[in-house]
Structure 1
Amino acid sequence: MTRTALITGASSGLGAEYARQLAGRGMDVVLVARDRGALESLAASIRRDTGVTAEVLAADLLQPRQRERVVARLTSERPVDLLVNNAGYGLPLAFERNDIEDEVRHLQLHVEVPMRLAHAALPGMLARGSGKILNVASVAGLMPRGTYGAVKGWLVSFSRWANVKYRDRGVNVTAVCPGFVHTNFHERLGMPPGQEGIPDGMWLDAPFVVRESLRDLARGRSVSIPSARYKALAALSRVLPDSVVVRAAERGR
């Protein structure tokens, strides 16, 4: 039986790569983002290259009425077997200078939205005795790094709890915690390529991150940290003083 994955933030970056790799594995995909044109283009290429069904669901997840259409898709009679909560963006680290309404929207998109979508998807998955939820967090969620690290920390903590809570009922929940990834994420922050202040050796490629995280999801792991270098950094952050970790984490944007 063909399975279905719903991916938020699917118009570019990691979201688009998740869509391509999952479609390549034979899964039908539901593509969710604000940019309908980008979604239609991605859906057309997926259909052409893989032959699976690629459904476009254009929605701004911060708008309740539009978000409800995504919730309705998750709770419909057409099962979603894998939910990928990927939609997100970053803000400058200077919290005191950021507009508070921007911070509130940032919090909503990274915490409230995935919480609502997971809550919508879980009952059907539990009733079927199978399902998976992948929450795209960040290695920043494992160390102090402004409000971005804080919201991603919620995803990590929730995923660790939910994976233990629901795995005996057939549902796995994994938080993927990549480091810096070559996508358009930093360009959206206003940083041209090459000006992010990050050493070349710390960058990861999107196909690698997606492949490794899907492998960890299949293995039932609560947290996936792609690459040995970021696993080592995460381990160090647990034993070093906060003052050291904060200074190190503030490199780049």
Structure 2
Amino acid sequence: MSHSSTVLITGASTGIGATYAARFAQRGHNLVLVARDKQRLDALAAQLSEQYKVSVDVLRADLTQPDDLAAVERRLRDDASIQILVNNAGAAQSGSFIEQSTDSVAQLVTLNTTALVRLASAVAPRLAQAGDGAIINIGSVVGLAPELGMTVYGATKAFVLFLSQGLSLELAPKGVYVQAVLPAATRTEIWERSGIDINTLAEVMEVGDLVDAALLGFDRREAVTIPALHVAERWDGLQAARQGLLADIRQADVAERYQVKA
């Protein structure tokens, strides 16, 4: 990937997405910024193009709306200059599962999973054919921890991790790098929008620190980057335990503990 290649970033008007935009612009990449708030996008585009002398296009889109999503998909399919997709757009919501409405849950799933996988699907074949490019999917450590109580949000982020790992296995041999980034609590507007008071959280990472760490993982070509994980061997141990579990699954035989005794 050359530094003159274009990066398309969803959820780019603020927070993690806007910070990715600034960091990639600083590296000399042209940008396509996608979000709902066109006024903020225009302001960010003007700032970054002036500061870093890169080309910045704005694509206003609500990724929960089929027509808007289709427009972003077309851009990813047709614009050969786009070599990096940052799938950052996402949302959370407060309350327990039974307190959340069916419609709000469905909208959360649409944004956090359906839109993300459709955009990856739109760009991956072209990148694979070119033998170059990258997809960055923003997940969350909540996807590893049902104990945290954010059931639907966590489930969508578990999907993002699984998808990213599967895509990495499929696409890496074709020259396409896939990275899953799993932030912990980060100081962005997602908390206010979801009705969660960020001041109730004991520890919160600054967004610049999060993105800088994620990009270091990107440069190292990590398949999974967890900036807040201080003992890297924990992840290695989890993967080893998972592989050991899979080795003990014998599909033809019911495990002894489930066998009915005569």
TM-score by shorter chain over 0.5: yes
* 1:88 partner letter: G
Residue 236 (structure 1) shift: 9.9
Change beyond 3 A, Cα 1:93–1:83: same
Q: How high is the sequence identity, in percent, across the aligned residues?
A: 34
The residue aligned with 2:168 is 163
The residue aligned with 2:109 is 107
Rounded Cα–Cα distance in structure 2 between residues aligned with 1:203 and 1:233: 21
Larger radius of gyration: 2
Change beyond 3 A, Cα 1:130–1:89: same
The residue aligned with 2:64 is 62
Change beyond 3 A, Cα 1:217–1:36: same
* 2:174 partner letter: R
- State the superposition RMSD in angstroms: 2.0
User: Quick check: 1:209–1:226 contact (8 Å CA) kept in 2?
Assistant: yes
Rounded Cα–Cα distance in structure 1 between residues aligned with 2:153 and 2:140: 9
Rounded Cα–Cα distance in structure 1 between residues aligned with 2:197 and 2:218: 33
* 2:160 partner letter: L
* 2:97 partner letter: F
The residue aligned with 1:180 is 185
Rounded Cα–Cα distance in structure 2 between residues aligned with 1:93 and 1:149: 13
Q: Does 2:94 match 1:89? A: no
Rounded Cα–Cα distance in structure 2 between residues aligned with 1:114 and 1:189: 19
TM-score by length of 2: 0.84
Rounded Cα–Cα distance in structure 1 between residues aligned with 2:92 and 2:232: 22
Rounded Cα–Cα distance in structure 1 between residues aligned with 2:238 and 2:156: 17
Specify every segment of 5 or more residues in structure 2 that has no aligned partner in the other structure, as ranges: 242-262
TM-score by length of 1: 0.87
* 1:97 partner letter: E
The residue aligned with 1:206 is 207
* 1:169 partner letter: K
Residue 78 (structure 1) shift: 3.3
The residue aligned with 1:245 is none
Change beyond 3 A, Cα 1:49–1:162: same
User: Quick check: 2:32–2:56 contact (8 Å CA) kept in 1?
Assistant: yes
User: Quick check: 2:73–2:122 contact (8 Å CA) kept in 1?
Assistant: yes
Residue 161 (structure 1) shift: 1.3
User: What whole-Å deviation, never above 9, does each CA across 1:58-115 have from its counterpart, x for those lacking one?
Assistant: 0111111111110111011432111000011111141101110100010011111010
The residue aligned with 1:80 is 82
The residue aligned with 2:244 is none
User: Quick check: 1:178–1:230 contact (8 Å CA) kept in 2?
Assistant: no
Rounded Cα–Cα distance in structure 2 between residues aligned with 1:182 and 1:48: 26
Rounded Cα–Cα distance in structure 1 between residues aligned with 2:185 and 2:32: 26
The residue aligned with 1:217 is 218
Rounded Cα–Cα distance in structure 1 between residues aligned with 2:22 and 2:220: 21
Task: Between 82-91 and 222-231, report the one with greater CA deviation.
Answer: 222-231
The residue aligned with 1:123 is 125
Q: Does 2:23 match 1:18? A: no
Rounded Cα–Cα distance in structure 1 between residues aligned with 2:214 and 2:229: 13
How many residues are treated as equivalent by the alignment? 235
